[in-house]
Amino acid sequence: MAKKPKKPWRNSWRKPKMEELFLPFPVFSGYKITVVIAHDIKSAAYYIADRDYLKDPNPGEGCEAFTISQPMGGYSIIYLKPDAGMGTIAHESYHAVCAMMKMIGAAEEHEIVAYHLGFLVDAITSFNMKVSGRFKCPIKKSSKLKPENSSPQCDSTEGLLRSSSRVSQDSTTV
């Protein structure tokens, strides 16, 4: 029996606190989209790259979210922070859906992209709301959208509703 090769853990890294959602798309040749929610998305990205023998990610400094896609490899990984807004979730989901279309060689037909984008955003939003309570939310010093009498505790839906409440505030002033 052959021994498994030793994994190349960087500096004896421990698994960062993160949650993963796996979404296979069997209709699209088994394309897999993984969603990772973590406060430190850079550490989570390097951990997953080492664990799954993937190409090193290059998230950049201070990035709030990013997507790694390998259309020919048949996967995309979306990295988000627990307080990601709806706009961020939709933005990163769009990258994954476009990579999936590229893998199968399909033209980006509006209805197909819109359907899969809606499905993916709904799945990520539900997952984020389910797991966001497992993370300690940092208390932000200034928040224009928070009611004045609210407590400084973490509201698990605060990050998800942040983008949509900005839009509704802007649309009422038009």
* pLDDT tens-place string over residues 17-32: 899 999 988 877 789 9
* Residue 128 burial by Cβ neighbours in a 10 Å radius (0-12, 13-18, 19+): buried
Cut 0.75: pTM above it: no
Given a contact cutoff of 8 angstroms between Cβ atoms, the answer to whether 152 and 108 are in contact is no
- Provide the pLDDT confidence category of residue 77 given band limits of 50, 70 and 90: very high
Q: Pick 93 or 49 by higher pLDDT.
A: 93
